[in-house]
Structure formats: C-alpha cells, structure tokens
Structure 1
Amino acid sequence: MESLRLENCGFCFSLPPLGQLPSLKELTIARMSNITNVGHEFYGECGSLSKPFESLETLRFEEMSELVQWVQLDAGEFSRLQKLEIIKCPNLIGDLPKKVPSLVRLNVEKCPGLVASLVSATNIREVVLEECKGVQFDMQGESSVESLKISSFASLEEFASELFTLTNLKELEVEDCPRLLPFREGMMCLNNLRNLSVRRCPKLELPLSVEMSHYYTSLENLILSGCESLKSLPLGLFPKLQNLKIVDCINFETLVIPEGIDFQNLTSLRTLEIYGCNNMAFFPCGGLPAPNLSLLSVWVCEKLKALPEQMHTLLPSLQNLYLFNCLEIESFPEGGLPSKLRCLLIANCKKLVGGRRDWGLQRLPSLTQFALAGEPEDVVESFPDERLLLPSTLTYLMIATMPNLKSLNSRGLQLLGSLKRMEIYNCSQLQSLPEEGLPTSLFALKFWDCPLLKPRCRMEEGEDWHKIARVPVVSIDGEAIFDQVYLGPIGEASFKEGGCGLDSTRSALVSVGMRFHAFILIWVHLWRLVVVVEVGR
C-alpha cells in the first residue's frame, strides 16, 4: 500500500501502527473527531533494521479538532518525508518533527495552539504559516527556502533578522499582519526575490528610497494590497519589474519616477493594475515611459483626473485598457490611445463617456474588443450614437447598464463588418432591434436583463424574430432560444474547443470575450451592490 487516507472515522479513538507499512508514501488523516493523541502506537515497534514510515513522503493532518499532542520519537522516522501539512488543528501543542532531512514543503495553517520552532531541514524549499501565533520564525541557516508565506499573525510586530538571511528566497507573501512594523532597511537584502506580495498589513512599509534600489534588482512581480502606509511608489527602484498590482491602499496618491533613475528601468513592466485607491489623483508628470506595457487596468480611483500623458508614444505596446469607476477622468490624453490597443473597457466613467465624440476609436486599427457600461443616471438613448464612431475591426461588442437605452443605431452597427459577438446587459428600456437587421457577420448574440426585448425575440413569434433568425447562436437571460450549431446555452462555460468550421469559430470567440466577461460581470455585480446599499440607508 502506497497511499492511505483516514477520514471521518468517528468511532476511532486511537490510530493503528501505520508506521509499520513499509511501502506507504502518502498518508492523510482528516476529521477524526475522537483522536486526541498521536502517540507511540502510531509508529509501531521500532527495530534495528527498519524505521517507522521509512518510505513516507507526504503526511497530512487536516481538521483534527480534538488533537492535542503529537509524540515525536526522534528515532529516524520520517527520513524520506518531503511534504508535511498540518491544517486546522486548533488544540495541537508541542513540537514539529526535528529530524526530517528530506523535507521540501512545510504547511501549517490555523493551528493557534501550536508552540514550536520551525523544523530544521536542509532541503526545505517552501514554507506556509497561517494563523499559528506560537510558531517561532527561527530559520537561521535554512538558506534553501525559496518560497515563504506568512499569514494571519495578529501579534507579530517584527520579523526575526534570520528571515533576511534566506539568500535563495524567490517568493515572499505576507498577509493579515496588522501590527507588523516597517522593514528595517538593513534587513531587505533578499537579492534573489522575484515575487513579493504584501496584503492587509496597514503598518508595514518597504524601504523605498533611491538608495535602496539595489534591494530589488531581481523583483519581477509586486502586489501591495491594503497597505495604509503606502503613499507613493517609486517605479525606478524595480529594474526587472514585470507585473505591478496596487489594491485598496487608501492613502496611495501616485506612482513616482525618481530623478536620477534612467527611464530604461521601466522597459520590463508588462502589466499595471490599480484598484480601489481613492486618493490617487494623478500619474507621474510627463507620462509612464513603459514601452512594453501591455495591460493597464484602473478601477475605483474616484479622484484620478487623467490617464498617463503621451500614451500613444510612451505606451506603444499597450493592448488592454480597462477603466472602471474613474469618475473624474474627462478625456483620453492628447494624441489619443496607442495604435496597438486591442481591448477597451470603460465602465461607470460618466465624464469620460460625456466626451466620447473625441475618443477617436475609429482610428485604432487593432481594436477588436470594446465594452461600454454606464450608470443608473446614464442618458444615452441610442447606441452607437453619432458621437461615438467605432472601428470596422471590432469582433466583440458589449453594452451594459444603460437604463435609458431604447434603440440600437442601425447605421452605426452596419459599419461593423467584422463583428462576431455582441452582448447587451441590464438595458431595461431597450425596446427593439434595428429594422435593417444586425451585421451579417454576427455569430453570437446575447441579451441579459432586457425585459422589453425578450418577448419580441421569441422564436417564430416575436416581432423581432426575423431580425435575428440568421444569427447562429442567440441567448436571452442565459437561455439559448436559437442554436443552429447545437451549442446549447451561450453561457461562458458552454463554449468548448472545436475542431473545424463553426466549432472553430466558437472556440475563437471564447478567447475574444472571456476576459471582458469577467470584468463586466464583476462590474454589474458591484453596481447592484451599490444600489442595494443606497436603498437601505
């Protein structure tokens, strides 16, 4: 026997001598509510020729609510153990095994009663510690650790200095440590660190002076979430940074390009995402010199007045631009948007939508995906109207939350000769489809929460049925009312890889719309929550 899982054995009060199974490689013990002690019987008899668990590679204790003690023999057991996981054992006290020379991964989660030092293992690569207030951060000499996650240590104020001797550390995650104080500058010597994530640590600060730039020479991915002390971030400190995400940092005001830092330091940046930073008012003066940036996403930055300057020249590789709830942005920057832009989402940006005449989307030769979402006060009655010209290259079009939208503009739609998929959400006043019909290229049509339109599109009977009869796939409120290629409901999960012909077209449409689906559906959900909160006040 190589693998064994004991689970939900409610009448079991002690464990059998599992250590005597010579071929056992993986053992999981879970939800054994009457097990209070893992004692000597767990190992069985120890002889001079064999050791308990001599082949075991993975050991898990999961949700052992009454487990109090785990006896260690320190007799050479677990000599081949590579993965040790102890999860949700709230009453467990005592030590972790001390002699596990082959251990690679240690995961201890939600064991607040466990009081122990971290295991000494020369080969350990990954350590996860969550809600284990008694575990000591004693990893001196464990330079092999490459990944460390520390979460939910309510009383932790400072890391032991040994943490910063982990010279091979490539990934560090710190979450939900409300009392954790700023890193001391002399401790941030993790020169191989590639991924750094700090979430919900309101007092934690990183050393961000220009003199500290050598601390971040290898950093590629940076996530800062719920860091109330963060007010600005000097981008020039991170020469290899590829992906930057800043979330719910309520005092964050701006990105900074420090003087004396060569602009070429931003050539590695690929994605920039800023969410829920309501004090952010502007981007760096002169724009963002990030020639390889492909994604810019800005959500719920209500004081932000403008996008980066000179986007058309400084961001030549930008392909995806997502804007949500940026209430003060009035226009795109002078010079317009980058010519390689493929995907554009604009949601709840009232002032920006008001100036749509100057968007110049028809001049974007690569734009294939466009989503526009309004707000409860939106006054748009026809789409696309004479103030918004769309490029003929569009293959995907989504419209959402336009409560006063009554009609679709036939002339504007007929110019979209490449349109394959169109989706309309939450347009309660939309009364009918264009008399001239929809673009002949259209493959999939989807409506959701358009109550006046639904009866008009009833198969063979509705007044607008003849306008959509040629569209291969039609869905209203998640129900496929017409499906010429036997696709079933158009819901996102129903699009599957196909082999050729129409199936290949269907597969292609998945990649066209999937990201927009995620963004727009999240937006619709958030908008409804706002309405509920306002009504409840």
Structure 2
Amino acid sequence: MAQFHSISQCLHSISKTDWLGKAKESSSQTSVLHCPRRMKIEGFKGTEAFPEWLGNLSSLKRLFLPITGGCSSLEKLRIVGCEKLSKIGDGLSTSTCLKELDLDICPDLSSIPNLEGFSSLQYLSVRWCKKLEVLPITGGCSSLEKLCIFDCEKLSKIGDGLSTSTCLKELDLDDCPDLSSIPNLEGFSSLQDLSVRRCVKLEVLPITGGCSSLEKLRICDCEKLSKIGDGLSTSTCLKELDLDDCPDLSSIPNLEGFSSLQYLSVRRCDKLEVLPITAPLSSLKKMLIGDCPNLRPIPSLDGLSSLTELEFEKVGEGWSHLLPNMLQSNVSLCSLTILNIPDLIWIQDDSLGRLNCLRELAIGGFSEELQEFPWLSSIQYLSASLLVLKLTGWEKLKSLPHQLQFFTALEELTIEGFQGVEAFPEWLGNLSSLKRLYLSGFGKLKSLPHQLHLPSTLEELTIDSFHEIEALPDSFRNLSSLECLSIQFCDKLMYLPSVDVMRSLSRLIAMSIKGCPLLEPRCERESGPEWSKISHLPLVLINDWR
C-alpha cells in the first residue's frame, strides 16, 4: 500500500516559517514534500488557514482533507486547483468561526459538509466544481456578505438556509445549467449586486420584497426564466438593470419611481411585451433596447436629460415614433444606434443636426421602401465631430450616400448590407482621418477597381462577404499605414495583390483569412501559390475561428 505523505512528517522543515499564517510563507516550502502523489493532512487543530502552496503540488494524484473536528479556530479555507479532491471531512461543520471559504477548480468534489450555524462566514466562493450537486447552506449564515458560484455543471440546489443570510451584499450565480430554483430573497436589505447568468433551467428569480439597497441586477442567458418576483418593485435604488437572452420572460414587475436608474438594457427577450417604467428618468445615462420583436414602446420617455447612449435595434412597431422627441430633447447624446427598424419611413431631417456631442452613430436597416437614408441633409452637421460610423444598407440602395465624403474626422467606418451597390465611390479616399474600415455584404460587387482609392491612414481593413470578387487589386499599395488585414466569407476570392504590393506594406503585421474556400488552400504554408505573398508576415491566421 502506498505511503501517505503527512504534513506532520515535514513539520520540522517548515515550522520556522510558521505556515499557520502568522508569518510570511517561504517559496521553498513545497520542496520538502518531494513531489508526493498522495497526501493526507491531519492533526492541526490550531490551524487558521491552509497555505496557498498546496495547489502547486503538480504530482499529487489524490488529496484527502479529513477534517474530523476540532478546527474551531479556522477562519480561512482556500482549496484551489486540486483536481483529484473528492472529499472534505465532515468535521468542517464544526469550524463555525470560518470567515472565508473558497473552493476553486476541484472538478471531482461532489459534496461538502453542512454549513449550518456558520455565523461568522462572510465570503463563500465555489467555482469550477463540476460534480458538486448541492450547496448545503442550511441556516445560521447570518454574516454572509458575498456568495459566488461559477461553472458548477451539476449544481441543482442551494440550501434554503440562504434565505436567512439577509446581510448578503453580493450574489453571483454563473453557468449553473442544472440549477432550477434558488431560495427566496426576502428582506435582503443589504443586497446591492445580484447577477444571474447562464442558469438555463432557472424559472423564477424569487425577489419577494425588502431588497431596498439593490443597485445592480443582471440576468443573462436564462432560457427558462419566466418570472421575476414582484418584490423588485420595492428596489427603487436600482442603478443598473440588464436583461439579456431571456426568451421566456413575458413580464417584469412595475418599475415606477426608479429615479436612480442609470443603465437600462433589454435585449433578446422575445416574449416581453411591456417595459413598465415611467418618467421621470432623470438619471438614465444608457438605454439599450434590441431584438425584442413584441416589446411595445414605452409611453412616455420625457425628461431624459442625462442620456448619453441610446440604442434601438430590431424592435417592433411604434418605437420609431419616439425618436423625434427623444433626439430633440437629448442633445447630450454621445452614442446613437438606430438599426433594423422596418417601420421607419420618415423622420424630420434636422433631427441629428442638434446632437453636437455625438461621437458614435450606427444607422440603417430601415423600411425596404426607402430609396435613400433619412437625415442625409442634417448628418453633414456631424462631419467635424463624429468619430465612429456604422451604416447598414438594404436592397434598394444602389450607391453609398455621397454625404459620407465630408466626414473628415471619422476614425472608424463600417459599411454593410449594401447588396445593390455595384461600384465603390472614389471619394472613400477623402476620409483623411480613417484608421479602421469594415466593408461587408457587397454581394453584387463583381470586382474591386484597380484604381480603388482607400485612405492611406488605414490601420485595419476588413473585407467580408464579397461573394463575387476573385482578386484584390494592386491599388492596396497606397495603404502605407495598414497593420491588420482580415478577409472573410469571400466565396470566389482566389488572388491577393501581387508580391511586390504585399511586401511594400511595411507596417502590415497580421493577416486573417477565414470562410474563403478557394483562397485558403492557395495560402497554405510553404505549398500554396499565394503563400510567398504573406510568408514574411509575423502573424498569419488561416481558417482560425478563435
């Protein structure tokens, strides 16, 4: 039978460094253990904390922590990176002076002792314990302030005793796919931050009242979540509300009197019909509404005097009617996104001209009946201030808006979805400050002109979904500042610019090619006919989807 290494056998070697946490740890402590394969730790009744170097024993195959009782002074227990740890002794239940418990990367740990009467416990973190099924909080954890559970695949239950931990300030549940319910959160008057993400079986978030200090609520990727407890209506101190990817969520509690709300994001909530929030929202700085096809417009959005970022994308009918008043009354906007609103046909032409603070603008994807973009006359007033512009077209548009040529301050430009465009305008080269250019979705463009004039200031260029082009032109020679070139989803593309042109791009350091079935084999290392054009580059990624 294999001999167990016991910490007590090495006591004479490490006692001078006082590994009980009363002096600094020595970097040589692990060397005295001679790389044990099995370890048993026992007999340290006065221990206050286990040393961090336990996680550095790379040869360890099995680790037992037979805490059988009597560790009455233990305040901190951290077990990190013990991949073979399967059991913690039941005696841990007697360590009721414990203040911090951190279990991290213990994939074989399937259970832990009951945490009942741990009145001193303040911090509890369980992460990457993939076999753990129950977190046995059975009551009496009255001092618990922070609970974090992350990536516990089989966790299906959190002990009902959590309901007594009303001093909790932060609760973070992330990536627990088997967790279908959590204890009631009633009277949690200290709770400030509540985050629930990727808990795909969770059906109800039981906020039943008394969470008067709640400031941040984030619920993301909870596919079965259908209800948020009505007690949320009492959390009028809320500053951030983020609801994302909750397709079964059909309603949320009334949010009347939430005058402290600064950040509101509701995205990909397919069944949500009403957002019961009322003015005044004088503190609201960011409002993001997207991919909610059934969500009806908020009746009144007056008084949004602090709004700096507004996003409406893929929303249902009626939202476009809110835009005129919102744009007129929110001259402090710095970022504006209005994308894929099919009922948007017209809006008064001077709406954007008043937005002197606007630095980022994304517009497009409007009614298929429109022959040109709205706001084109007023958009010119932004030419000296706008830094980032995203333009999304539609089938009937046959050319790019010529007003773009006046945007001399623009640093980043995305142009996508102009399926009807058959030629690029010469004025693209006039954008003298442009550093990043993303071109996507020019499905009918059969070739890029040999005299294509792009700004020499470009540092990043992406060419995406040019389905008909076969070659990139030698006019790329003028891209003297180019550092990164990305080419993707170009079905017929076979040829890069010539060797001389590619090697003249002295600042080019990275190139990515993916989703290009004809070009990829031609760029194979050493053997591809296009390889000599890019072999000198420090980084070449071919069909890399990371």
Same fold by TM-score, threshold 0.5 exceeded? yes
Decide which moves more: 310-319 or 240-249.
310-319
Q: Secondary structure at the match of 2:272?
A: coil
Q: What letter corresponds to residue 262 of structure 2 in structure 1?
A: Q
TM-score w.r.t. the length of structure 2 is 0.67
Counterpart in the other structure of 2:102:
83
What is the aligned counterpart of 2:190 among 168, 192, 214? Answer: 168
Counterpart in the other structure of 2:66:
39
> For residues 236 and 454 of structure 1, do their structure 2 counterparts lie closer, same or farther at Cα, with a shift above 3 Å needed?
farther
CA contact (8 A) 1:22 1:54 kept: yes
CA-CA distance at 1:169 after TM superposition: 1.1
CA-CA distance at 1:105 after TM superposition: 3.1
> For residues 62 and 128 of structure 1, do their structure 2 counterparts lie closer, same or farther at Cα, with a shift above 3 Å needed?
farther
Q: What letter corresponds to residue 195 of structure 2 in structure 1?
A: E
Q: Secondary structure at the match of 1:149?
A: strand
What is the aligned counterpart of 2:381 among 358, 363, 371? Answer: 363
Partners in 2 of 1:352 and 1:11 — Cα distance?
74
Post-superposition CA distance 1:296-327 (Å, at most 9, x none): 22333354651633133222222212344433
Give the RMSD, CA atoms, in angstroms. 4.5
Counterpart in the other structure of 1:486:
507
CA-CA distance at 1:170 after TM superposition: 0.7
Q: Secondary structure at the match of 1:72?
A: helix
Q: Which runs of 4+ in 1 moved over 6 A?
A: 3-6, 20-23, 29-34, 451-454
Q: How does 1:130-529 map to 2 (within 5 A)?
A: 132-139=155-162, 142-150=165-173, 152=176, 156=180, 159-160=183-184, 163-175=185-197, 176=199, 178=201, 180-181=203-204, 183=206, 187-199=208-220, 200=222, 201-207=224-230, 215-225=234-244, 226=246, 228-231=248-251, 236-258=256-278, 263=279, 265-281=280-296, 283-285=297-299, 287-301=301-315, 303=317, 306=320, 308-309=322-323, 310-332=325-347, 335-337=350-352, 338-339=354-355, 340-346=357-363, 348-349=365-366, 351=368, 354-356=371-373, 358-359=375-376, 360-364=378-382, 365-374=384-393, 378-385=395-402, 391-410=407-426, 412-413=427-428, 416-428=431-443, 429=445, 431-433=447-449, 435=451, 437-438=453-454, 442-444=457-459, 446-449=461-464, 450=466, 455-457=471-473, 462=474, 464-465=475-476, 468-469=477-478, 471-473=480-482, 476-477=485-486, 481=502, 486=507, 488-489=509-510
Partners in 2 of 1:97 and 1:5 — Cα distance?
34
Counterpart in the other structure of 1:505:
none
Post-superposition CA distance 1:241-300 (Å, at most 9, x none): 111111222222344554xxxx4x31211112223211124x334645312222222333
> For residues 137 and 315 of structure 1, do their structure 2 counterparts lie closer, same or farther at Cα, with a shift above 3 Å needed?
farther
CA-CA distance at 1:107 after TM superposition: 2.3
> For residues 445 and 31 of structure 1, do their structure 2 counterparts lie closer, same or farther at Cα, with a shift above 3 Å needed?
closer
Partners in 2 of 1:11 and 1:5 — Cα distance?
10
> For residues 149 and 80 of structure 1, do their structure 2 counterparts lie closer, same or farther at Cα, with a shift above 3 Å needed?
closer
- What percent of counterpart residues are identical? 16
CA contact (8 A) 1:361 1:390 kept: no
CA contact (8 A) 1:79 1:101 kept: yes
Partners in 2 of 1:285 and 1:335 — Cα distance?
24
Q: What letter corresponds to residue 192 of structure 1 in structure 2?
A: S
> For residues 256 and 332 of structure 1, do their structure 2 counterparts lie closer, same or farther at Cα, with a shift above 3 Å needed?
farther
Q: Secondary structure at the match of 1:327?
A: coil
Partners in 2 of 1:307 and 1:233 — Cα distance?
25
TM-score w.r.t. the length of structure 1 is 0.68
> For residues 177 and 408 of structure 1, do their structure 2 counterparts lie closer, same or farther at Cα, with a shift above 3 Å needed?
closer
Q: What letter corresponds to residue 127 of structure 1 in structure 2?
A: L
Partners in 2 of 1:227 and 1:401 — Cα distance?
27
> For residues 244 and 470 of structure 1, do their structure 2 counterparts lie closer, same or farther at Cα, with a shift above 3 Å needed?
closer
> For residues 179 and 118 of structure 1, do their structure 2 counterparts lie closer, same or farther at Cα, with a shift above 3 Å needed?
same
> 1:25 aligned to 2:51?
yes
What stretches of structure 1 of length at least 5 have no aligned partner? 492-524, 526-537
Counterpart in the other structure of 2:528:
none
Counterpart in the other structure of 1:515:
none
> For residues 399 and 177 of structure 1, do their structure 2 counterparts lie closer, same or farther at Cα, with a shift above 3 Å needed?
closer
Q: What letter corresponds to residue 345 of structure 1 in structure 2?
A: A
CA-CA distance at 1:30 after TM superposition: 10
Q: What letter corresponds to residue 238 of structure 2 in structure 1?
A: L
Decide which moves more: 73-82 or 353-362.
73-82
Partners in 2 of 1:19 and 1:319 — Cα distance?
60
Counterpart in the other structure of 2:527:
none
Counterpart in the other structure of 2:532:
none
Q: Secondary structure at the match of 2:389?
A: strand
Q: What letter corresponds to residue 300 of structure 1 in structure 2?
A: K
Q: Secondary structure at the match of 2:510?
A: coil
Q: What letter corresponds to residue 230 of structure 2 in structure 1?
A: P
Counterpart in the other structure of 1:495:
none
Post-superposition CA distance 1:198-250 (Å, at most 9, x none): 34253313438xxx85x223211112231634347766432111111112222
Partners in 2 of 1:293 and 1:426 — Cα distance?
32
Q: Secondary structure at the match of 1:306?
A: helix
> For residues 194 and 207 of structure 1, do their structure 2 counterparts lie closer, same or farther at Cα, with a shift above 3 Å needed?
same
> 1:71 aligned to 2:90?
yes
Aligned residues: 456
Partners in 2 of 1:164 and 1:29 — Cα distance?
42
CA contact (8 A) 2:134 2:158 kept: yes
CA-CA distance at 1:425 after TM superposition: 3.1
Q: Secondary structure at the match of 1:473?
A: coil
> For residues 455 and 102 of structure 1, do their structure 2 counterparts lie closer, same or farther at Cα, with a shift above 3 Å needed?
same
Partners in 1 of 2:98 and 2:38 — Cα distance?
27
> For residues 197 and 438 of structure 1, do their structure 2 counterparts lie closer, same or farther at Cα, with a shift above 3 Å needed?
closer
Q: What letter corresponds to residue 322 of structure 1 in structure 2?
A: T
CA contact (8 A) 2:388 2:412 kept: yes
CA-CA distance at 1:447 after TM superposition: 4.1
Q: What letter corresponds to residue 379 of structure 2 in structure 1?
A: L
> For residues 17 and 486 of structure 1, do their structure 2 counterparts lie closer, same or farther at Cα, with a shift above 3 Å needed?
farther
Counterpart in the other structure of 1:531:
none
Decide which moves more: 268-277 or 472-481.
472-481
> For residues 38 and 397 of structure 1, do their structure 2 counterparts lie closer, same or farther at Cα, with a shift above 3 Å needed?
same
